[in-house]
Amino acid sequence: MSAILISQRVEIIKSYGERRDCLDQSWCDFLHACGFLPIPIMNKETNIEVLADLTRPAGILLTGGNDLATYGGDAPERDRTERHLIDFGIAQNIPIMGVCRGFQLLTDYFGGKLERAQDHVARRHLIRGSFVREVNSYHNLAAKIIPENFEVLAKTDDNVVEAIKCKDHKIMAVMWHPERETPYKQEDIDLFTQFFG
């Protein structure tokens, strides 16, 4: 079973004075359904090369949660860690998939712009393009400007970009959460299996 390095959200627990890294347990189940073993990454850049050397990952997955600090988020350590993951993935030719916030970070990393999205939290909507299907939606931010080296794969009827792919590297991002579907959608399993395979 191939390993996938997977980023984690930051939860701030004020009563304990702690900043905790955490990951929805459903990511483990979803990635297992795709044939992969998730390896969670702490929000410390120093761990990435060591874990990658030990696991020889098939890919990197940037997950949802936490707005980017430049857009009002409160987890700058996560931004730094995920940017380091992108640098590392590109340098080592490791495929990178972004989900929701991961999409937003990749857009920002490559010079695109984000804006507030209307009516895209706890909704379902149809997307069209390379993918024509109904997906879930849990995002406050959407892409206003897509980076020049990316192509748009799918949009909603209200013109929000839902899937992009890099022209220069094996990098892709989607705005929906495959791990939040019950049961998991075969289209998502196939997408992840083929992308990281």
pLDDT of residue 196: 98
The parent domain of residue 160 ranges over: 2-196
Q: How far apart are CA 74 and CA 66, in angstroms?
A: 7
pLDDT of residue 141: 87
**pLDDT tens by residue, 139-172:** 788 898 999 999 999 999 888 999 999 999 999 9
Catalytic, out of 34, 100, 139, 162:
100
Catalytic, out of 120, 139, 162, 179:
179
CB 146 within 8 A of CB 127: no
pLDDT of residue 68: 96
Q: CB count, 10 Å around CB of 126?
A: 14
Q: What length is written for the chain?
A: 197
For strands 171-174 and 161-166, give the pairing: antiparallel
pLDDT of residue 95: 98
Number of structural domains in the chain: 1
Q: How far apart are CA 79 and CA 75, in angstroms?
A: 7
CB-neighbour burial class of residue 149 (10 A; exposed 0-12, middle 13-18, buried 19+): middle
**pLDDT tens by residue, 105-130:** 999 999 999 988 877 677 899 999 99
Q: CB count, 10 Å around CB of 132?
A: 9
pLDDT of residue 56: 93
Residue 120: closest CA among 95, 145, 103, 97: 103
**pLDDT tens by residue, 16-45:** 999 999 999 999 999 999 999 999 999 998
The answer to whether residue 14 scores a pLDDT higher than 80 is yes
pTM: 0.96
**pLDDT tens by residue, 76-102:** 999 999 999 999 999 999 999 999 999
To the query of whether residue 100 is one of the catalytic residues in this protein, the response is: yes
Looking at the DSSP assignment, which residues form a beta bridge with residue 21? 10
pLDDT of residue 51: 86
**Integer angstrom CA distances of residue 14 from 42, 127, 134, 158, 173:** 19, 39, 38, 38, 32
pLDDT of residue 155: 95
What is the DSSP-derived secondary structure letter of residue 121? E
SS3 state of residue 113 = strand
**Integer angstrom CA distances of residue 195 from 54, 60, 112, 163:** 22, 11, 23, 13
Say how far residue 170 (Cα) sits from the centre of its chain. Answer: 14
Q: How far apart are CA 70 and CA 156, in angstroms?
A: 25
**What tokens does 104 get?**
């937003």
CATH number reported for the structural domain that contains residue 76 in this entry: 3.40.50.880
The answer to whether residue 54 scores a pLDDT higher than 90 is no
Q: Which residues contact 77 (CB under 8 A, 6 or more apart)?
A: 10, 19, 43, 44
